[in-house]
Every structure is written in structure tokens, then in C-alpha cells.
Amino acid sequence: MCADLDSRANIEQFIEGFYARVLADPELAPIFLDVAAIDLEVHLTHIKDYWCKLLLGESGYRRHTMAIHRELHARRALSEQDFARWIGLFEATLDADYAGPYAEKARRIAVAIATNMREGLPG
């Protein structure tokens, strides 16, 4: 039986699995590791808080996501292909281990995020 994304623990586990896929991806990993030069421990904490806010209504995340991605986009243009790969890995991680209303809400939110970012970034 698959878990839903209805608790912080499940969301944290999902994010760790998703980022393991992202950081193993030959196209996306360099964006995160070389261009953005993320500190993985710090980044994952922010991302976990972000998804807990979106799915559970927690208030821990207070950053401006679009501004962060505009800065990244200025260093290395994020393409349609980048967003498609990100969504593909997100959905593959969901499909492998998660099911339920919160997982489906996360799927809808992820697609909306990718669409908004793609449309909101210059070029």
C-alpha cells in the first residue's frame, strides 16, 4: 500500500526521494549543483517546508520562490525541457510510492508551479 503526502514525515521522505532522482539526472543535476550551487542540506530543508506549506498549510516557508528562480534563470536559462524533466521526475517519484488525495494535490500543484515558472521567466 502506498503512503499519501498527508504528514510532514511522508512529505520529507518524498522530497528526499525526488531529489535523489533530480541529482542523479544528467540534465537537471548540473543546474542544481553547478549553476545554483545549492547546499543540499539547507535546500532540502527549505523545499520540505515549502511542500508542507502547500499541502498541509504549515507556515514555515517564507521565501519568494519566483525571485529565487529568476536569479537562477539569469545564470542559466531554464528551458521547456528542464521543466518537463522536473515534472517527469516529480511524477515518477509520486507514482512509485505515493497515492491519495494529498499526492494528487501535489501533482496538480507541481504542474502549476512548472507552468507558472515557465511563463513567468523571461525569454
For the chain, domain boundaries: 8-120
Which pLDDT tens digits describe the chain residue by residue (123 residues)? 799 999 999 999 999 999 999 999 999 999 999 999 889 899 999 999 999 999 999 998 888 888 888 888 899 999 999 999 999 999 999 999 999 999 999 999 999 999 999 998 887
Q: The domain 8-120 is classified under which CATH number: 1.10.10.10, 1.10.3720.10, 3.20.20.80, 1.10.490.10?
A: 1.10.490.10
* 60 in Cβ contact with 49 (< 8 Å): yes
* 52 in Cβ contact with 58 (< 8 Å): yes
| Residue 69 is assigned to a ligand binding site | yes
| Residue 73 is assigned to a ligand binding site | no
Contacting residues for 33 by C-beta, under 8 A, at least 6 apart: 23
